[in-house]
Amino acid sequence: MNRNRPWQLIIAGGLLAFLAGCTERNAPTALRGHPAAAFDAAAPLTSVVTDPAGDAAWNRNTGPGSAAKVPGYLDIVRVEVSKMGRTFVFTMDLADVVPGSPAAVSGGLGVQGWLFGLDTDPTTFPSGQDGAFPSGPGQTRPFEFFVDVEWDGTEFSGLLYDLRPLLTGEAMVVTPVPFTIDGAEIRVSVDASALGEPSAFQWDADTCARHAHLGSDGFQCFDPAPDAGFATWPQ
């Protein structure tokens, strides 16, 4: 009976080698002569600022009416700038739901705004005889762009303010941009080409009310984020 054992071992060894070869050939691989499929696992470039609820104040806590309570939908709790593919996404989370028809702003031309200011070129400071959004005539701004969602008393709109033309004596350019309002979150999308394809920039966010026409000083802001200085994209 022991005389058959070597043949049994040889057969068993051959079977194991055959099965191993099949396993290797059946493993998922790219087709010969073709590269393996590549998956883009790159995360979006992001910059985030958080802000405590309840710190929004009229007139920056100075002057008459500074103690009046600012509505929660003008109180920032978190803001984010991210780039996904070729699109910048600006997100603002607020302390309360944005109503379908916010309270009117005094002044006849009143507008409420949820905005981001972008300083894409630290060497330039746009200014103009008709003002540089949202400042009045003769005042300079460190920002080349504002990304803004506005309520004009009738409807919401998403707008991109390009202040770069002011540097050559021309008027700033205002372009509609897509936006969404979902409860207490506002989100705006802007193509990178509209911002000059920046690789980095400084930014801040704020909630404001404008009481007069663009380029006037009839505006006030309630809750900057960050509270001082600027954030940097990407972090």
Q: Which tens digit of pLDDT belongs to each residue from 55-89? A: 898 766 666 666 567 899 999 999 999 999 999 99
Distance between CA atoms of 163 and 165, rounded to whole angstroms? 6
- The rounded distance, in Å, linking the Cα atoms of 146 and 201 is 13
Length of the chain: 235
User: 163: helix, coil or strand?
Assistant: coil
Q: Are the CB atoms for 234 and 88 separated by under 8 Å?
A: no
Structural contact between residues 80 and 48, judged by C-beta atoms closer than 8 angstroms: yes
Give CA–CA dist 204/230, Å, rounded: 5
Q: Where are the domains of the chain?
A: 45-233
For residue 104, pLDDT over 90 is answered with: no
Using CA atoms, how far apart are residues 150 and 152, in angstroms rounded to an integer?
6
- pTM for the model: 0.77
CB-CB neighbours of 132 under 10 Å: 25
Provide the H-helix boundaries in the chain. Answer: 5-26
Res 12: pLDDT: 42
Mean pLDDT of 145-173: 93
Q: Residue 71 CA to chain centroid, in angstroms?
A: 23
- The CA-CA-CA angle for residues 33, 34, 37, to 5°, reads 155
- Which residues neighbour 131 within 8 Å (Cβ) at sequence distance 6 or greater? 137, 139, 214, 215, 216
Distance separating alpha carbons of residues 180 and 186, to the nearest angstrom: 6
Flag whether pLDDT at 195 surpasses 90.
yes
Is the model's pLDDT at 216 over the cut of 60?
A: no
121 C-beta neighbours (distance < 10 Å), count: 16
Question: pLDDT per residue over 114-138, tens digit each?
Answer: 999 999 999 999 886 665 565 556 6
Q: At residue 37, does pLDDT exceed 70?
A: no
pLDDT for position 83: 97
Among the listed residues 83, 93, 151, the one whose alpha carbon sits nearest the alpha carbon of residue 118: 83
